[in-house]
Amino acid sequence: MPTRNALGSVRLSYAQAVRGGPYQVTLQVWSRTFDHPDPLHRSAMIKGVYLTQLPGAPGTNHQVSNVRITDRYGIDETGVWERTGGGNEEGFDGYTFGDTNLLARCVPQLNEMWNSFSGIYDERCLADPACDAMRLQTHRLPGFVLIAFNYLLGPLTFSFDIDLPSPPRAVRLVIGQIGGNGGNPLQRTATLPDEEFVIQCP
């Protein structure tokens, strides 16, 4: 059974192919934002997933390799997440963007062509028209910039290898796009600030 805390669930598993070698980690993550008692908070996405409280001295670099992120249908979503970390955690951020380095000679005033916000969505929100209506929609800003919102139904599976002296025991989840458009179709950004919490895995 997944370990559940607050507005998300995590199933953490790991193995070592060779004693002293990297841990082969699999994280399955579900959003539970529909459990929020305030309907205005339910439309949201888990936009950050991090192994946290990692063992080792402060400033230790944890080597991460063989990353693969798949959705509930087995579709590869690795390209819409950025690996990030440092200190006592390593993980993934659902914000990515494309800049215009190649186009700068033609259109020097551009800095970015697109921004993508990906995250794990609670399928119960999808089934509730009032909740789902608040989901932020992909749109284009004046000029050439596209803002994309990629709501992925959980679980999302993060598989990777990581060098650690002992197994990981905690996962930090960041929830964003909370409240979506707040019921106003003209609103293009989230109406509420991000929230985060840590799940301790036995």
Which domains are present in the chain?
3-200 (2.60.40)
1 pLDDT above the threshold of 50: no
First to last CA, the chain: 12
CA distance 123 to 152: 9
pLDDT bracket for residue 202 (50, 70, 90)? confident
Give me the percent of the chain exceeding a pLDDT of 90. Answer: 73
Is-contact 180 129, C-beta < 8 A? no
DSSP-derived letter for residue 166 is S
User: Would you state the pLDDT for residue 99?
Assistant: 72
CA distance 48 to 50: 7
- For the residues 170-199, what does the mean pLDDT come to? 95
User: Would you state the pLDDT for residue 145?
Assistant: 85
CA distance 36 to 179: 11
pLDDT bracket for residue 195 (50, 70, 90)? very high
- For the residues 28-36, what does the mean pLDDT come to? 96
54 pLDDT above the threshold of 80: yes
- For the residues 118-140, what does the mean pLDDT come to? 96
User: Would you state the pLDDT for residue 3?
Assistant: 47
- What average pLDDT does the chain have? 89
**Residues facing residue 178 across a β-bridge:** none
| Exposed / middle / buried, residue 11 (Cβ in 10 Å: 0-12, 13-18, 19+) | middle
pLDDT bracket for residue 25 (50, 70, 90)? very high
- For the residues 16-36, what does the mean pLDDT come to? 94
Q: What is the pLDDT of residues 3-16, one digit of tens each?
A: 445 799 999 999 99
- For the residues 112-140, what does the mean pLDDT come to? 94
